[in-house]
Amino acid sequence: MEDALTKIGVVGAGQMGHGIAQVAATSGFSVLLNDRDEQALTAAGNAIEASLDKLVSKDRLKASQRDGALENLEMTTDLGDFADCDLVIEAIVENEEIKLDLFTRLDAITADDTILASNTSSISITRLAASTQRPDRFIGIHFMNPVPIMKLVEVIEGLATSEATTHAARSLIEQMGKTAVFASDSPGFLVNRILMPMINEAVFALHEGIATAEDIDAAMKLGTNQPMGPLTLADFIGLDTCLAILEVLHDNIGDPKYRPCPLLRNYVAAGWLGRKTGRGFYNYG
Ligand code: CAA
């Protein structure tokens, strides 16, 4: 039922996936959060509770809404449980092959009228949709991190996405209290087409010794009123994710201006992926 979504499935319990699950559950949807790793689901449950408590303590949410959200949320390690979801949104690693494999499986598991959506930051929605038998019921719904706080959601139609699917996605986003912008199915869509070259340039500035990490961030924070400097933001997003998005821009657009900075590649090779590994451009204890 493309115009009456009630049950939402979320695949991937990482930073984005659990944030999407939290906001959907707070907005009254029945939510099933999946990860193949049991520990990731436990961590996601704890993060959601902490975030809801924070929102209650800041008077942004009533205690009854927090309790309602937790009641609306279920967790599973079994993708088979997604059979009766109205919409399933994928928020797994930014890797095209792994996403294609997941969507082929979801296509087989879910009902014919289930909408499949991807939270990909950069990968072609048309290509992902082509791995299913329902490219008309496939769409990009790209949330920003941290999902409970950020207002924006990018919507990306694939070549075959139907009007009914777009309408359902728009209603979902409105019900979640977010603002939708529409971007064409072009590498990096809108936000990352602009954001990632800025982050990459900040890494080049560090690589070339133009300034220290602290001064690069202070310059952009205090000089352009950004809430976080670009290197802090890169650590927050994850340096592996930033590199993956830049690779998509570089490979698919072909313009050398998107070449990932060698220093970014080295950080990723070293496993210094930002906050999630305790070290990126900064140390996180
Ligand atoms: N759950 C609930 N509340 C949260 C939260 C969460 N997960 N994260 C932050 N908050 C709340 C805090 O409680 C705080 O509330 P008050 O304003 O009521 O005090 C508020 O958000 C601000 O948080 P902090 O005081 O801890 O820290 P801050 O002022 O530095 O804000 C931030 C944190 C909201 C993350 C802010 O730094 C920010 O907006 N940074 C930029 C984030 C950004 O650009 N995100 C997009 C990344 S790009 C992306 O996601 C797309 C992609 O494909 C890569």
Q: How far is CA 259 from CA 94, 119, 255, 263, 264, in A?
A: 18, 24, 8, 11, 11
Residue 95 annotated as catalytic? no
Phi, psi (degrees; rounded to nearest 5) at 180: -95, 140
Which segments of the chain have a pLDDT < 70?
1-3
Q: What pLDDT, on the 0 to 100 scale, is given for residue 115?
A: 98
What confidence tens digit (pLDDT) does each residue in 228-256 have? 999 999 999 999 999 999 999 999 999 99
Short-list 126, 134, 127, 125, CA closest to 106: 134
Domains of the chain: 7-183 (3.40.50.720), 193-275 (1.10.1040.10)
Candidate list 30, 34, 119, 142, residue with the active-site label = 142
Q: What pLDDT, on the 0 to 100 scale, is given for residue 4?
A: 80
Question: Which residue has the least CA distance to atom 48 on ligand 1?
Answer: 144
Q: What pLDDT, on the 0 to 100 scale, is given for residue 190?
A: 97
Q: What pLDDT, on the 0 to 100 scale, is given for residue 2?
A: 45
Question: Which residue has the least CA distance to atom 30 on ligand 1?
Answer: 227
Place of tokens 């019921």: 137
Beta carbon of 145 within 6 Å of any ligand 1 atom: yes
Phi, psi (degrees; rounded to nearest 5) at 244: -60, -40
Ligand 1 geometric centre to CA of 145 (Å)? 8
Q: What pLDDT, on the 0 to 100 scale, is given for residue 3?
A: 57
Beta carbon of 58 within 6 Å of any ligand 1 atom: yes
Beta carbon of 150 within 6 Å of any ligand 1 atom: yes
| 3-state SS string for the chain | CCCCCCEEEEECCCHHHHHHHHHHHHCCCEEEEECCCHHHHHHHHHHHHHHHHHHHHCCCCCHHHHHHHHHHEEEECCHHHHHHCCEEEECCCCCHHHHHHHHHHHHHHCCCCCEEEECCCCCCHHHHHCCCCCHHHEEEEEECCCCCCCCEEEEEECCCCCHHHHHHHHHHHHHCCCEEEEECCCCCCCHHHHHHHHHHHHHHHHHCCCCCHHHHHHHHHHHHCCCCCHHHHHHHHCHHHHHHHHHHHHHHHCCHHHCCCHHHHHHHHCCCCEHHHCECCCECC
Beta carbon of 47 within 6 Å of any ligand 1 atom: no
Q: What pLDDT, on the 0 to 100 scale, is given for residue 1?
A: 44
